[in-house]
Amino acid sequence: MTEASAPAATATATETVTALRPGVLGTNAARPDGVPKVQGRFAFANDLWAENMLWGATLRSPHPYARIRSVDVTGAWKIAGVEAIVTAEDVPGQPTYGLIRQDQHVFASAYVRYRGEPVAAVAADHPETCRRALEAIVVDYEVLTPLTDPEEAIAGTRDRIHPDGNLIRHQRILCGDPEATGPIVVEGNYEMGMQDQAFLGPEAALAVPDDDGAGLELYIATQWLHEDRKQVAACLGLPEERVRLVLGGVGGAFGAREDISLQVHCSLLALRTGRPIKMQYGREESFYGHVHRHPAKIWMRHHASADGVIVKIEARMVFDGGAYTSTSPAVLINGVTHAQGPYRCPNAIVDGYATRTNNPPCGAMRGFGVVQACFAHEGQMDKLAAAAGLSPVEVRLRNAMRTGDPLITGQPVDSVAPVERCIRETDALPMPPDLPADADVLALPGGSGRTADRGHVVRGVGYGVAIKNLMYSEGFDDYSTARCQLNDGVATLKFAAAEVGQGFVMLAQQIARSILGVDEVMLDTIDTQIGSSGSTSASRQTWISGGAVDAACRKVRELLLEAVAERHGMPALQLAIEGTDVVDTIGSLRIPVADASAGLRLDETVEYRHRATEDLDENGQGNCHVAFAFVAHRAVVDVDPELGLVKVVQIATAQDVGRALNPLSVAGQIEGGIAQGLGLAVMEEIIVTDGMVRNASFTDYLLPTTLDAPTVVFSLIEEPDPQAPLGAKGVGEPPCISVTPAIAAAIRDATGRDIGRVPVRPQDICLS
Amino acid sequence: MSVLTPSTIDEVLAHLAERPEALLLSGGTDVMVEINMAHRKAPAEVVALRRVEQLRLWRHNPSSEGTGGTVTIGSGLPYAEMEHGPLAELFPALAEAARTVGSPQIRAAGTLGGNLGTCSPAGDGLPVLFALDAIVHLRSIGGQRDVPVADFMVGVKQNVLEPGELVTGVTMPIRHGWQGYSKVGVRNAMVIATASACLAMDRDRGAVTLALGAVGTTIIRCRDAEGWLAGELDLSAEPLDISDAVAQEFGRRAAADARPIDDHRSTAAYRGHAVGVLSSRLLRRAAA
Amino acid sequence: MTQEPIGSPEIYRLQVNGESHDVQDAWLGESLLYVLRERLGLPGSKGACEQGECGSCTVLLDGAAVCACLVMAASATDADIVTVEGLAPDAALTDVQAAFLDEGAVQCGFCTPGLIVAVHHLLEHNPEPSALETREALSGNICRCTGYGRIFAAVDAVVASRADQAAR
């Protein structure tokens, strides 16, 4: 007997699904990689193996900040089975890399700036040999006092820990009348801990050197093949054509694979030894080896009219970027430009800072700066509701943005903006049943730990609403490339878009089936033998790479129809594809696509770009984003206030998806994103003290289990976006953004406590 | 490195006599983690206990007086076997504690022997052993010694096991009266105890025992709270009448015995607070 | 003290998916997970934590669902071991595997093999689990992509279809 967790799909979607040909857009098409995945035959990067291969491993700094006096590898060379040892002086090309600024070192040479920074790497015949070799390398560190307080970085009271300085970026937004005030003023301090992407498939790569030692093939689990290639080639001092990247199966990403981790190390060892090198991280090393979500401290003050309409917002946001730049400048921009939330706001003063410290480097994680801003602005909206005597739903409806309203950056939100619908439909979803008097212990906060009896439990309800930009911003020339071939009725697609589990490989096939009228769509290897598809991040692949596949298929279709038209002596404009046939729309000609394409070799490669975006000026004004999506969440929680334990009972959500291209896949994104937002709300945090990570393992970095997952009920809002090539907005990020503040609000509702921090810890609820 | 797989206790003891430093491998749920993470140097010799059936048994030892007797549980019995069935009926608190150990996969492999070998103050089974005054049976080729569990565990991950010794099992009395276990964790599965407690009533002796986990260098028996409650009420009476004030005072006294610390999992303040709450609530359940 | 060589000359034998495998030249501290993946050509079981905290390496050992990363391979010489590769012959799909596909329970797929084994184990011992029983039985298997909703739907689908077949 199941719980009520079925998607409350709209009637339109249900009708559409039953009328469509299997496998086209709008259906629950099967994943092409599904069968191998359930059989355990799918080759993740971790599963790759090559004849004559060696294992590689990395030596990492035990200190968050230290000067390196010397590195002595002689002891490691004495160990039988060690074939190569590399340090900073062995990096043949550029010694540093980075997505935005190349300030991060392949291997530390003069300084280590975070606990876990790579100092050396070895190649050996067995992982255990590698471990012993690393142990035998002696690094003489002069330990320094780490800079760990972002405020010191902003104030400039500490020496620079990096030549580029301790402030990565500052951005101000000034909008409207900075002197505006309102009769209602509410303010608050909001803090967010450091979340980790914690994808399950640890970092892994297999590097296979070319025979001439001047090139290689790198099989890598990553989010952006071409960006990896660019950095690897630069660091190896090789032309990009000699560095060929192939996507190894990816076990999740969520932003953590945007920065490179073991790519250069693995490649360098391969070139040094002339043998294939397999590298993979264990879970502990994975925590040290990738960037995390920025911890943040945000102060906000909202001025409003007596009836709760926002007049002005003020905010100060501090994002701690840790030791290296990564994507901090972009994360900051997302944070400050989303400070107002999905609400109309005529006046604003916002200051945002991204700092450099000796804390672990932070960068991309699903939500990318908006998660932090949303926690703050939703906390503010509830304070505003209380001050104005409105319900949390009413205050949000009263301020809800509509299509065309501007952000505080001056940019009009010309994406479809169904904020009111998101809120109303979320609120209309059925509430869960009350906790019965004889509730099973597993249904109570504390679960099988039996900490609570029914009488100790109080229920609370909370809301959160979010706006999230889609795709990249600030003038970035983002594009994707796709190739479509149609030979004898079989379509083949090639693209470099990284499949990380989100299902793009499935979507691409759906597009081709819909446009070309074929059922069988082959997928070529995902590698750098074609132009870039950009990153699998920022909720962009469906729009941009989907747009590229769509455009390439359309071009092929055009050529096909032209060929048929010529063969039958009629204008191509008369022809169309209907189901799996080419049809004359005004006549009786009907030819199966398979027959029509027989003997033809149609082959088109297309680059798809979205419209241009702008930089922000010094007052944070400019059309810096491409498009936006909206979502609302309602959280129902049961709390044991005396022990501070929380059970998230149900999450209800209505999400603005534009068009559900694969409803089951959308459900998966919603439920998965909610789980991550839940984790951030009540259990997930990388605990850092004096720059040292205290919990680099799944023992103490807690991910939600099946016993923590709430019931999820959802509604899809399908108002196709005219800008989006398929009408669909990206759906990956919104599910994890406003669910966290909704849960925090529900805890406040249940306990009366002013929760200003996530993750909420038991002591935050039950102790003062 | 050699891995030995004996099938009887005598074979184990013979191996241990020859190689006293050999690593005893029970379910592997602590030891293999340390080897995988290279926190423990791979040992030169491993004596795997998987095939020693004698260690996976439990038996009821009836008493001559006919008042319940004791139960001896083999150190190799997996936690999964303690969650249901006759053993669970005899020791409901042990069943409750077993259910909170790790995950189903961990429970299929983890054992009391492992919990005792590791001796972490957060070990889920340990508060039950302390509350029930368990006797730990140690054997070596030289003989046997029986150590009260409170004397067996002497510190964080420290016990009195000597090289060459094997924990063969524990013996606990069957008591008449309610017993229960609670464990605080931030997540609903696979979580190390932030604080835990086991309470057991002994109607025949008119006594209560209370043991706390994760709030000291060893499991803590709250003798002050136990003695105070026995003085306040007739604990052999049925039903027990526990007022709010009594439950609260019981919890306060229990918390006063705790010696919690701050660490990355929690704070001393929270842990101390939590064990007080758990103790009060367990007592109320005993009376309900 | 001389450095001990990694590989041991001893040979030990493992019974996996009904076949006997000799393991030679192995470091005796290797976990069953390592041996399956790196020596026996059975990479279906995955390693996401090597601590028993994620269940990606779940295999059946004498009928019990355990984490292969916590089994010292050389100590499992007499055990009947079943991995995801051994659940169905050749290219066939079990009903559980098919249900995972139909219900959208597979995204990145890293947790999938361990979950498939765990679900088979659950339903063998409890053919009609309640929602809470399903959740508790799978609480040792972490999924980071799906949030579990589609996984529960897959379990429900198998339960329903098996009950349906039993009824006929």
| pLDDT tens column, A475-511 | 999 999 999 999 888 999 999 999 999 999 999 999 9
Q: Is residue A397 part of a domain?
A: yes
Q: Which residue of A has its CA nearest to B278?
A: A451
Residues C119-168: tens digit of each pLDDT? 999 999 999 999 999 999 999 999 999 999 999 999 999 999 999 999 98
Do A135 and A279 lie in one domain? The reply is yes
Is residue A622 domain-shared with residue A751, that is, in the same domain?
A: yes
A9, pLDDT greater than 70 = no
Task: State whether residue C28 sits within 8 Å of chain A by CB.
Answer: no
C113 contact B CB<8A? no
Q: From CA B12, how far away is CA A127, in angstroms rounded?
A: 31
- One domain for residues B188 and B63: no
Q: Is residue A328 part of a domain?
A: yes
Predicted TM-score (pTM) of the model is 0.97
Asked if B7 is an interface residue toward chain C (Cβ–Cβ < 8 A), one would say no
Q: pLDDT grade, residue C27 (50/70/90)?
A: confident
ipTM over 0.85: yes
Q: Nearest CA to CA, how far is C70 from chain B (Å)? A: 5
- Considering only CB atoms, which chain B residues are within 8 Å of C66? 105, 108-109
Chains touching A (at least 3 CB pairs under 8 A) are B, C
Q: Measured between CA atoms, how close is A663 to chain B, in angstroms?
A: 30
Q: Of B173, B203, B230, which one is at a domain's C-terminal end?
A: B173
Helix (H, G, I), strand (E, B) or coil at A648: strand
Structural domain including C49 reads 10-85
Total domain count for chain B? 2
What CATH number does the domain containing A56 carry?
3.90.1170.50
Inform me whether the pLDDT recorded for A114 exceeds 50.
yes
> Which tokens sit at C147?
């949030």
Question: How confident is the model at residue A4, as a pLDDT?
Answer: 36
Q: Choosing among B105, B187, B198, which should be mutated to test the A contact, i.e. which has the most A CBs within 10 A?
A: B187
User: Last residue of some domain: B124, B142, B173?
Assistant: B173
Average pLDDT score over residue span A161-189: 97
From C85, C106, C136, the end of a domain falls on C85
Instruction: Per residue of chain B (288 residues), give pLDDT as tens.
Output: 788 999 999 999 999 999 988 989 988 998 899 888 876 667 788 999 999 999 999 999 998 876 689 999 999 999 999 999 999 999 999 999 999 999 999 999 999 999 999 999 999 999 999 999 999 999 999 999 999 999 999 999 999 999 999 999 999 999 999 999 999 999 988 999 999 999 999 999 999 999 999 999 999 999 999 999 999 999 998 889 999 999 999 999 999 999 999 999 999 999 999 999 999 999 999 998
Q: Nearest chain B Cα to A128, which residue?
A: B38
Q: State whether C96 and C70 are in the same domain.
A: no
Interface test with C, best of A54, A200, A504 (most C CBs within 10 A): A200
Residue C43 within a domain: yes
- pLDDT for residue B64: 83
Q: Which two tokens stand for residue B278?
A: 């758990």
Band of residue C109 on the pLDDT scale cut at 50, 70, 90 = very high
Sequence-ordered alpha helix ranges (H) in A108-175? 127-136, 150-155
B184: contact with A, CB 8 A cutoff? yes
| Nearest chain B CA: its distance from A166 CA (Å) | 27
Other Cβ atoms closer than 10 A to B259: 14
CA angle A198, C43, C159 (to 5 degrees): 75
Beta bridge partners of residue A140, listed in sequence order = A70
Residue A188 scores a pLDDT above 80: yes
Q: What is the CATH number of the domain that holds C33?
A: 3.10.20.30
Three-state SS letters, A575-633: EEEECCEEEECCCCCEEEHHHHCCCCEEEEEEEEECCCCCCCCCCCCCCCCCEEEEEEE
**Cβ within 8 Å of residue A503, ≥6 positions away:** A31, A662, A665, A668, C107
Together in a domain, B227 and B252: yes
Tell me if chain C has a CB within 8 Å of the CB of B256: no
- Of residues A442, A702, A763, nearest to B270 (C-beta): A763
**Mean pLDDT computed over C16-37:** 93
Examine the domain organization and report whether B126 and B78 are in the same domain: yes
Q: At what angle do helices A392-399 and A370-388 cross, to 10 degrees?
A: 110
Write down which residue in C85, C119, C146 finishes a domain. Answer: C85
A39 and C6 within 8 Å at the Cβ level: the answer is no
- Looking at the fold, whether B105 and B186 belong to one and the same domain comes out as no
Q: Which residues contact C41 (CB under 8 A, 6 or more apart)?
A: none
Chain C: give the shortest CA distance to residue A476, in Å: 28
Query: Which residue range is the domain that position B87 belongs to?
Result: 2-173
- Average pLDDT score, chain A: 96
By CB neighbour count within 10 A (0-12 exposed, 13-18 middle, 19+ buried), where does C124 fall?
exposed
**Are residue B133 and residue B12 in the same domain, yes or no?**
yes
In chain C the first and final C-alpha atoms are separated, in Å, by 70
Both tokens of residue A723? Answer: 């800008």
Establish if C80 touches chain B: CB-CB under 8 angstroms.
no
Arithmetic mean of pLDDT, A85-90:
98
Q: Do A700 and B183 touch (CB under 8 A)?
A: no
Strands A204-209 and A310-320, how do they pair? Answer: unpaired
- H/E run at residue B90: helix B86-90
Residues B96 and B23 in one domain: yes
Distance between CA A583 and CA A560 in Å, rounded?
12
Q: Are residues A336 and A412 in the same domain?
A: yes
Is residue A599 located within the same domain as residue A621? no
Q: Does residue C5 sit within a domain?
A: no
Q: Which of A609, A630, A645 is the last residue of a domain?
A: A609
Nearest to C106 among A37, A128, A705 (CB): A37
Could you tell me which chain C residue has the CA closest to the CA of B78? C64
CB contact under 8 A, A645 and B186: yes
| Closest to A378 measured CA to CA, from A163, A215, A192, A239 | A192
Please indicate if any CB of chain A lies within 8 Å of the CB of C157.
Answer: no
Of A27, A31, A29, the C-alpha closest to A14 is A27
A762: chain B residues, CB-CB within 8 Å: 184, 186, 194, 266, 270, 274
- Read off the CATH number of the domain in which B39 is found: 3.30.465.10
Smallest CA–CA distance from C54 into chain A, residue: A698
Interface test with C, best of B23, B46, B79, B103 (most C CBs within 10 A): B103
Coil, helix or strand at residue A158: coil
Q: Rounded distance, CA A454 to CA A441, Å? A: 9
Search chain B and give the residue with CA nearest A688. Answer: B264
pLDDT of C5 reads 58
Residue of B nearest to A702 (CA): B187
Task: State pLDDT tens for residues A436-476.
Answer: 999 999 999 999 999 999 999 999 999 999 999 999 999 99
Residue C98 and residue C78 in one domain: no
Residue A335 and residue A439 share a domain: yes
Q: Which of B37, B42, B277 sits opposite A643 (nearest CB)?
A: B277
Per CB-CB distance under 8 Å, the chain C contacts of A30 are 101
One-letter amino acid identity for A453? Answer: D
- Same-domain pairing of A650 and A605: no
Which pLDDT tens digit goes with each residue over A307-352?
999 999 999 999 999 999 999 999 999 999 999 999 999 999 999 9
- All residues of chain A having their beta carbon less than 8 Å from the beta carbon of residue B265 are 700
Nearest CA in chain C to A696: C49
Contact C52 B103 (CB under 8 A): yes
Q: Measured between CB atoms, which of B78, B103, B109 is closest to C139? A: B103
- Residue tagged 């329970």 (tokens): C105
User: Could you tell me which residue, B240 or A553, shows the higher pLDDT?
Assistant: A553
H or E segment and range at residue A206 = strand A204-209
The answer to whether residue A747 scores a pLDDT higher than 90 is yes
What residues make up the domain containing A449?
A: 296-473+615-766
Q: Which residue of B has its CA nearest to A701?
A: B265
The domain boundary residue, chosen from C58, C85, C112: C85
Instruction: From B129, B153, B173, give the residue that closes a domain.
Output: B173
Beta strand extents in B178-227 (DSSP E only): 179-184, 195-202, 207-213, 220-221
Residue where the block lists tokens 């962009």: A540
| Interface-testing mutation among C61, C67, C117, with chain B (most B C-beta atoms within 10 A) | C67
